[in-house]
Amino acid sequence: MHSRGNVHRDTFKQLRHWRDSASLFAHAVAHTKNNDLAYNSLGVALADQNRIKEAIQNYERTLAINPKHWKALYNLAEAHPQQGDPETAVRRCRQALALNPGYMKAHYNIGVALTAQGAYDEAIAEFQSAMQLNPQSAETRNYWGIALAYKYETGAATARFHAALRLRLGFVHAMNNLGSALAQQGQFDAAIALFSEVLRVDPDNDSARKNRDLATEDGKRLQPKYEP
């Protein structure tokens, strides 16, 4: 029979051994057979450590075991843009949606990837689908605004950034983006005030600093930078 002290020591040794979730799931993969859940979880843990190539390998192993593992498909979609491959990200998201049509994040990430490719109308359609599934998503409204701004529809973009800020007060990316949209419309004083507020909350925000400095020096030279 173990004493309480021995139990505590054994527990501490276990916790020290499983120093991170990657170690835990690597152990599960090594000691079980065809464990798609363990492979997918190992991929997530590796992605959290920015070990993206290894994460992708484990997601692909998950799918080799279970081709209908929609979450592994979605996880691959999140990983591929970090490897400079937005087209594969879109394809994987669509595969995930075929298995789980109500997964809002997949529509959102398709929209993000399409925005990066300059396919703004298609991106906006995906953001609209995401909003139908989750009307309270400030991130979706913010990125929808970015896609509109890149189409030079700055009035509509401004409305989306305002909506994002109503859903999440102090959302610095939406504040910076709203400032950029207002600057594009020639409202430089209001834009500078927003950039300054972003820097008060987030002093390391280089995008807001550059936007503010350019708007202050010469508004006509401002090339707005939008943030996801």
Q: What is the pLDDT of residues 148-161, one digit of tens each?
A: 999 999 999 999 99
Band of the pLDDT at 23, cuts 50, 70, 90?
Answer: confident
Model pLDDT, residue 147? 97
Model pLDDT, residue 15? 42
Domains in the chain, ordered, with CATH? 20-135 (1.25.40.10), 154-228 (1.25.40.10)
Q: Which two tokens stand for residue 3?
A: 């004493």
Task: Write out the H or E segment, with its range, that includes residue 72.
Answer: helix 70-79
Predicted model pTM: 0.80
CB atoms near residue 153 (< 10 Å):
17
Model pLDDT, residue 24? 76
Model pLDDT, residue 31? 73
Q: Which two tokens stand for residue 18?
A: 């499983």
Band of the pLDDT at 13, cuts 50, 70, 90?
Answer: very low
CB 226, CB 178: distance < 8 Å: no
Residues whose CB is less than 8 angstroms from the CB of residue 193 and which lie 6 or more positions away in sequence, other chains included: 179
CB 168, CB 160: distance < 8 Å: no
